[in-house]
Structure 1
Amino acid sequence: MNLDRPVAPSPYDLLPPVGAFTVTSADIADGEPIAKTHIFTGAGGENLSPQLSWSGFPAETRGFTVTCYDPDAPTGCGFWHWLLVNLPASVTELAQGAGSAPEQVAAGAFSVRNDFGNPRYDGSAPPAGDRPHRYIFAVHALDVETLDVGPDASAAYVGFNLTFHTLARATLTATYQNLG
């Protein structure tokens, strides 16, 4: 494993600037290692999405999308762990484990396939011995109630739609290193 490779930028640094608001969690802290509770089952964890809550988003917000992305995955294009779309503007908190049953979060909300191929949250599972990976949990405040995507949409297609409908974004970045 080449640990001297450059650190990938946050994908949001490469997009048009948008406003910011705040996302917090009772389960993860910005810049800190993620607990085994939120690690993929195949990597020895419980595979539960962390609790998230957000505030300070623009008054004109009509909906939300929540994502989790690892820019450090050795793929050339990062790795999407979670894409929960079409949350109503009235939803400002997700309980721990909400990523396992997105249809129970709110009427009309659903997860598209992550890079594991599953329509849910799947936690951290970097290669053993690789340097720490960053897991960017992002809440996107949207100017539409729903994105024009279906359950079979790819992560890239959701990201494309988010670029044109995001009013503001809140991020919380946790880390994880698989020491083998």
Structure 2
Amino acid sequence: MSLIGLGLLLSGQVLVVVTANQVGVVFNQINGSLRSITEGLNIILPFIEQVTLYNSRVQAITMSSSRVESAQGGEDPLEVLSSEGLVIGVDLTVLYQIDRTKINQIHLTLGPDYANTFLRPNIRSVVRIQFAEFNAIDIIGTGRAQLQAAIEDSLGKVMRDRDINLVSVNLREIRLPEQVPSRQP
């Protein structure tokens, strides 16, 4: 009877279910090795191996001043400077997806909290750098598409270097200072 109980106890720690929207990394505490696991039922060594699951769907990071969006995982608004030094408020959403085939490297270099430790700071940095190349009138006019493309190019390179794929950058709202006439397309 005690063997059955022990078997039931261990079975919960031996089997790991990885759903269709996940990929897992198994860390062996004895030899320090990593291996990835994919969808389905996976067997691990209890007490020796630890599993970390990652979301492999397209995910979003929104930086917004909207209280509703901020409560749903957004951040306070992103403020940037134009080339002439004007403070501009920006609401944007970045869609991204981890490279499932490189999950071990992502786990080693970035860890499970990569969205907060790597993506958010780099999004802010790239957006600030790119906005500083444009003047306010161009940002709300014909230069908006060029600005968005420049952000996507720069951010895409930073993310690719860490095995994360940039799906898109959506500049949702640009708030100019009152002294600049608003003429968003």
Fold shared, TM-score > 0.5 on shorter chain: no
Structure number with the higher helix fraction is: 2
Structure with higher RCO (Cα < 8 A, 6+ apart): 1
Structure 1 length as normaliser, TM-score?
A: 0.31
